[in-house]
Structure 1
Amino acid sequence: MSSTELARQECAVTILGGPTAVLDIGGLRIVSDPTFDDPAPHGYLTKTTGPAVAEADLGPVDLVLVSHDLHPDNLDDRGRAFAEAAPLVVTGPRSAERLGPPAVGLSPWSSRAVPRGDGGGDLTVLVVPAVHGPEDADRDADGNVNCEVSGFVLSGEGLPTVYISGDNASIRTVAEISRRLPDIDVAVLHAGAARVPTKFDGRPLSLDSRRAAAAAAVLDPRLVVPAHFDGWTHFSEGLADLRLAFDEAGLSELLRVAPHGSWTRLDKS
């Protein structure tokens, strides 16, 4: 391992900025929604902060999760190259068609077993639904708002069950996930109340802070790790809003916020 390589953990998560999370779990290193470009405009979106850890410093990665491939704040140019070089990418069917190998496209409520690196059998990667905008917005031929977006639930024997929301704005969808999967231990929630004036009259495309707290109340996890609330100009709410919303909901004890690039333990100890 080089002196700058991000040290492996037994069971932990770190947010690198934007939506990009690194999870070390079950002897695997997993990266969700890789974004590694430098700050710059990306069409109608503008990135203001680069990643806390560069892709070259992550070491070998076993799995990449891509919630959706069409928006650069979730998969930018260097993030796309990073995903294409991974041994396995799990995403939605339309995203997989566009990305090509090594992407595997799974519809909601479908799963993929990934052999664990710790000898504990398989890690199950379950794709769950997400709604990237208001519930009443127009939907495409596949029933998606804005575009196809996937969330993920990771689980395995002796491991915490981890939900990664992707860009979801729907509490109804969170409730469905909770009903089907009542034992979520950790929720990595994309928050920030992303807004684009030309889309859906500027209404949120992802969870605002109050909806993030409501999602936490519905899921009832041991801890919540917020992501995707900074680093881009289209976020209308930040960390202070999240802290306030969780405090007003009486859920501050669930919220875990560490500096980008620092680890949050996911095990129960």
Structure 2
Amino acid sequence: MNDIAVTYIGGPTALLEYGGLRFLTDPTFDNAQTYKPRNGFAHTKTRGPALAPGDLGTIDVALLSHHHHADNLDTLGEQFLRGLPLTISTTKAAADLGGTVTGLEPWSSRQIGEVTVTAVPALHGPPGSESRGPVIGFVLQTGNSPRVYISGDNASLSHVESIAGRFGKIDIALLFAGAARLPVAEGNLTMSSADAALAAEILASDIVVGLHTEDWAHLSETRDDFRKAFAGKGIYRETPRALRVELN
């Protein structure tokens, strides 16, 4: 069985080694800055990435949950995508970004080498948040290896239940949390730490990695909050910045 490993870069961005391939989640490589307002609110990045694009080596596939918010795809992140052989994202992202971006609707799949990548539903906020734009998560499978779920900016435990209903046990869950909040929206736009702990129970996950828990001013919870939510459960995997951590 091939090694499964993750290298945390910052925010929602991580390098995942799985099935002999190297996947990059939601690329964000800009330095700390405030972006021009979108939908009436300016996103502020409080810290830059632990690794620059040139530090990563070969990337086979980027998994982009959505493209319309700077905290999931920033300026340097978008530039980096244009040099990659493949990016999998929403159909809207594929239409808007072009190039090597391929769009998948929820529950559709793409075979890459020995890995099947399935897009799964996500909701970027409480019920009724569909107007924020399409978002997807991903499930990765290959042979007898552990299944991996990458949540993207999903705040819906109902969607997590549907994923468990479709796939059964998800061995490794990379969960975007941080309880993102904006003054122009009601409720959390991403999972809280408590939501993430419930999601891991629903998925019966053996290993959980927290992403998108820091580096952005609109996150109302911290990386430490995520860590505390999993205290005593024995499934949380600490991922220091820029350090490769094996997950199997």
Q: Does 1:49 align with 2:41?
A: no
Residue 183 of structure 1 deviates from its aligned partner by 2.4
Amino acid of the structure 1 residue aligned with 2:172: V
SS at match of 2:9: strand
CA contact (8 A) 2:30 2:76 kept: yes
Higher alpha-carbon deviation: 150-159 or 237-246 = 237-246
d(CA) in 2 for partners of 1:243, 1:27: 29
Q: How does 1:1-269 map to 2 (within 5 A)?
A: 10-43=3-36, 44-115=42-113, 122-135=114-127, 137=128, 144-200=130-186, 203-247=187-231, 251=233, 253-267=234-248
Q: Which amino acid aligns with 1:147?
A: G
CA shift digits 1:12-71 (9 cap, x unpaired): 012211000101112211101000001111120100111111101111111011100000
2:138 & 2:224 partners in 1: Cα distance?
Answer: 26
2: CA distance, partners of 1:150 / 1:97: 15
Q: Select between 237-246 and 212-221 the one with higher mean Cα deviation.
A: 237-246
CA RMSD of aligned residues (A): 1.3
Residues paired across the two proteins, number: 242
CA-CA distance at 1:243 after TM superposition:
2.5
Give the CA deviation at 1:260.
1.2
Q: Distance in 2 between matches of 1:113 and 1:127?
A: 12
Separation in 2 of the partners of 1:25 and 1:224? 15
AA matched with 1:68 = H
Separation of aligned partners in 2, 1:183 and 1:134: 25
Q: Is the 8 A contact 1:132 1:145 kept in 2?
A: no
TM normalised by structure 1 equals 0.87
Quick check: 2:27–2:64 contact (8 Å CA) kept in 1?
yes
> What secondary structure does 1:254 align onto?
coil
Contact persistence 2:27–2:74 (CA under 8 A): yes
* Structure 2: gaps of 5 or more residues: 37-41
Rounded Cα–Cα distance in structure 2 between residues aligned with 1:265 and 1:60: 18
Judge conservation of contact 2:14–2:24 (CA < 8 Å) in 1.
yes
Aligned AA (1:81): Q
Amino acid in the other structure paired with 1:239: R
Q: Deviations over 1:149-182 (max 9, x none)?
A: 0100111013221100000001111011011111
SS in 2 for 1:90: strand
Higher relative contact order (CA closer than 8 Å, sequence separation 6+): 2
Deviations along 1:72-96, one digit per CA (max 9) or x if unpaired, are 0000000001111100010111111
CA contact (8 A) 1:160 1:266 kept: no
Q: CA deviation at 1:257?
A: 1.6
Query: Partner amino acid for 2:53?
Result: E
Return the letter of the residue paired with 1:32.
T
Q: In the alignment, residue 172 of structure 1 is paired with which amino acid?
A: S
